[in-house]
Amino acid sequence: MRQPFKGIIALSLIVLAAGVLAGYGSSGKTAAGAENGKITLTNVSYDPTRELYQQYNPLFQAYYKNKTGKDIEIVQSHGGSGGQARSVIEGSRADVVTLALAHDITLIEKSGLIQSGWVEKFPKDSSPYTSTIVFLVRKGNPKQIKDWDDLAKPGVNVITPDPKSSGGACWNFLGAWAYGQKKFNNDQAQIEDFVAAIYKNVSVMDSGARGATTTFVENGQGDVLIAWENEAINSVKEYPGKFEIITPSISILAQPSVAVVDKNAQKDGVEDAAKEYLNYLYSDEAQKIIGENGYRPSNPDILKQFANTFDLNIHLVTINDFGGWDAAYDTFFNDGKIFDQIMEKVNTK
């Protein structure tokens, strides 16, 4: 069962994480780490991975106990990926990060908390699972949403989070842009007008992907949610008969990334446990849990076991088609760049 989007359980987890995170700047290891034989590991993650790590953490704890004889406590923190990265840079507790895109981890690396070369530390460019971007619509698809250009039509109410704080929102934007590139034969002005028409239809721009899902699924706002594939799959499962998934003709291979926050993990004395925690995400047992939670396993053999869950024939562009994340951010998402220019047009019309 999906964790309620709002409620006491969610609030208690946030309070727990906040309490541990706030204590990180204090002396010694009073809030965390390896102390008195007890190991505590903090995983700072992005919004939609809550249910995944609720299932993965007990699996890893049992594995780690069997291997080392030691108990390990896992503390989770969730939020918009960009905001989570900034919080780690500013001093929030994190031994590992499992974020929505490599750029967010690179920002932490540039702060000196993560060693260079983190992408090569784990298999598949440190991406134990992938996803893509799809549309979630209400049952019967009343607005007849079939592809990206339908999101630009007058009268269509779109929900998507804000790329300034949400990694998923960056993937959403790039998926729309990739469609525009093909539709308008790379004509920059036409692509910008097309994407601006989509964002003109956005009625709510939450700070994170889970907030956007809550707005659409629980609050009943919007005709279509631009969503992580896993969020759409889990919404359909949790609310039978209420929603449908529409796969666009072009989308993007979304590659969430993981890394040990070396400086913090070393300080806490949990570096080996942190590496083990992320390595175990590639185990067959973990890969199956990943697939069950709507993420695409990086293991191709296990991915095939979920052929009925995922559209494996979708045409996917990659971040490399945009020159990598540094180039994509400099082109689209840094202050004053294309996203800001588009929103300025949207807000002045």
Mind giving me the DSSP string for 266-305? Answer: HHHT-HHHHHHHHHGGGSHHHHHHHHHTTPEESSHHHHHT
For 31, 169, 342, the CA distances from 271, given in Å and listed in that order, are 16, 31, 43
This prediction has a pTM of 0.87
pLDDT tens-place string over residues 205-224 = 999 999 999 999 999 999 99
Which sign does the torsion angle of CA 294, 295, 299, 300 carry? positive
Mind giving me the DSSP string for 171-236? Answer: HHHHHHHHHHHHHTTT-HHHHHHHHHHHHHTEEE--SSHHHHHIIIIIS---SEEEEEHHHHHHHH
Q: What is the mean pLDDT of residues 131-155?
A: 98
Mind giving me the DSSP string for 86-142? Answer: HHHHTT---SEEEESSHHHHHHHHHTTSS-TTGGGSSHHHH-SEEB-EEEEEETT-T
Distance CA 247, CA 242 (A): 17
pLDDT tens-place string over residues 251-301 = 999 999 999 999 999 999 999 999 999 999 999 999 999 999 999 999 999
Distance CA 228, CA 247 (A): 11
Residue 257 — left, alpha, or beta (φ > 0 → left; ψ -120 to 50 → alpha)? Answer: beta
pLDDT band at residue 28 using 50, 70 and 90 as cut-offs: very low
- Find where tokens 């709510």 sit: 204
Q: Which domains does the chain show, CATH number per domain?
A: 8-129+256-304 (3.40.190.10), 133-252+318-348 (3.40.190.10)
